[in-house]
Each structure stands twice: as C-alpha cells, then as structure tokens.
Structure 1
C-alpha cells in the first residue's frame, strides 16, 4: 500500500470513528500535541477525545470529494478535501458542507494526526 493509500484509509477511519463516537480511536491516532481548528475554536487532544466519545451531536454521513494528498517528505503529509457532513441536531438532520485539511506526521513509525482544520461553507 502506498503512503497516499494508507493516509486516505486512515482519514476514512477517523471519520468513521467520529460518526461512531469512538474516542479511543482518536486517543491512539492523534499526536499528544495535535490541534483542530473549526468554527468552534481551537481544540487540543485533551478536549477532542472526550468530545468525540460523548457524541452529543452525532455525525451521520461524511462523504468526501476532491481529495488531494501532498507528501511533503517521508514523515509529513497533508490531505485536503470537501466533506459533506450530516449531523443530528436536536433530532433533526443538519447539513454542514465544509472544506477540510489534515496534517499527518510519521516520525514515531506510525502516521499520526498533528493538525486538522474544517471550514464550513
């Protein structure tokens, strides 16, 4: 499997874990210093993992399009794409189309998320 294929598979698994409220998956695959930026602010790993586990507003669907993978070097890569997020809010489905980017790092021998950004459209 190429680095690009591996990273796209890991990105799939991250979104699946988010939909399923699997905080333990994020606890493993986020670096300790990982950050996420969204309309909700800047979130570190310590806040992200329990938030995903609580799954208060579950993501129902997260199809991605226009994926691009940039291999910066053997230890760093960036994935960008459009994601059509469908969330369950107060019992109603809501759409949040966004652009997203994830920065991955492989200095530990396994790819880990360093940074994730979502920009709602």
Structure 2
C-alpha cells in the first residue's frame, strides 16, 4: 500500500470508530501529545478518547470528498478533505459540513495522528 492509500484507510477507520463510539481505537492511533482544533476549542488526547467513547452526540454519517495527501517526508504527511458530518443531537439529525486536516507521523514506525483540525463551513 502507498502512503496515500494507508492514510486514507486510517482516516476511514478513525471516522468509523468515531461513529461507533470506539474510544480505544483513538487511544491507539493518536499520539500521546496529539491535539485537535475545532469550533469547540483545543482538545488533547486525554479528553478526546473518553469523549468519543461516551458518544453523547453520535455521528451517523461522515462521507469525505476532495481528499488530498501531502507527503512531507518519510515520517510526516498531511491529509485534507471536506467532510459532511451527520450528527444525532437530541434525537434530531443535523449536518455539519467542514473542511478537515490531519497531520500524521510515523516516527515510531507506525502512522499516528499528531494534529487534527476541523473548520466548520
């Protein structure tokens, strides 16, 4: 598998884990120093994993388009795309379109997320 194929597959798996409330998947694939930035603020791994596990507002659908992968060097790559997140909020489905970027690093020999940002549209 190419780096591009590998990282796009890992992004698929992360979104699936988010939809399923699988915090343990995120516990493995986020580096310990990982951060995420969204309209809700800055969140670290210690807060993200239990939040995903609690799954209070389940993600129902997360189709992505316009995917691009920039391989910076042998250990770092950036994945960008548009995502249409359908979330269940108080029993109602709401769609939140966003642009998203993830920075991946494999300095430990395995690709892991270092940074993720979602920009709501």
**What is the TM-score of this pair, normalised by structure 2?**
1.00
After TM superposition, where is structure 1 displaced by more than 3 Å over at least 4 residues in a row? none
SS in 2 for 1:81: strand
> Please, which runs of 5 or more residues in structure 2 have no aligned partner?
none
Cα distance, 1:6 vs structure 2: 0.3
Report the counterpart of residue 31 of structure 2 in structure 1.
31
Tell me the C-alpha RMSD between the 2 structures: 0.3
SS in 1 for 2:96: strand
Report the counterpart of residue 6 of structure 1 in structure 2.
6
Partner Cα distance (1:95, 1:9) in 2? 23
Partner Cα distance (2:70, 2:92) in 1? 36
Partner Cα distance (2:30, 2:92) in 1? 30
SS in 2 for 1:15: helix
Partner Cα distance (2:96, 2:120) in 1? 6
Report the counterpart of residue 58 of structure 1 in structure 2.
58
Q: How many residues align?
A: 121
> Please, which runs of 5 or more residues in structure 1 have no aligned partner?
none
